[in-house]
Amino acid sequence: MVFSPEAGYKFEVVVEKGCTPQNDSIWKLVFDLYKRRRDGFDQIVHVSFRAGSAAESEGVKRMALQGVSDKQADLLTGPVYDAAKALEGAATPTPQQKEKIRTAMSTVTTVEL
């Protein structure tokens, strides 16, 4: 899914499913932020959110099966985008920045449960 929250920026959201060695499902929500350059877009931020609870796993799974709801889209283009954009140019995110984006991504996954 591709979103364009403001001129000069776009982001893609992808759901990934992996497995543990015991064949348990691992659900991830991947957020990639891009900035327009003269010759296209450059990726400036990559976030891979791994579901850490049963509710988050269920929420990511539902996104894969049903798509992004209006509430989730609002959160992605609001708090998640804002937290990711704040990382632009940062060599290493601070613990506070990491927690802010993790909390925002968690909210996206559980808002419809």
Question: How confident is the model at residue 14, as a pLDDT?
Answer: 98
**With contact defined as beta carbons under 8 Å apart, do 113 and 70 qualify?**
no
Q: Each residue of 11-39: pLDDT tens digit?
A: 999 999 999 999 999 999 999 999 999 99
Question: How confident is the model at residue 37, as a pLDDT?
Answer: 96
Q: Each residue of 94-104: pLDDT tens digit?
A: 999 999 999 99
Question: Cα–Cα distance between 7 and 27 in angstroms, integer?
Answer: 31
In three state form, how does the secondary structure of 18-60 look? EECCCCCEEEEEEEEEEEEECCEEEEEEEEEEECCCHHHHHHH
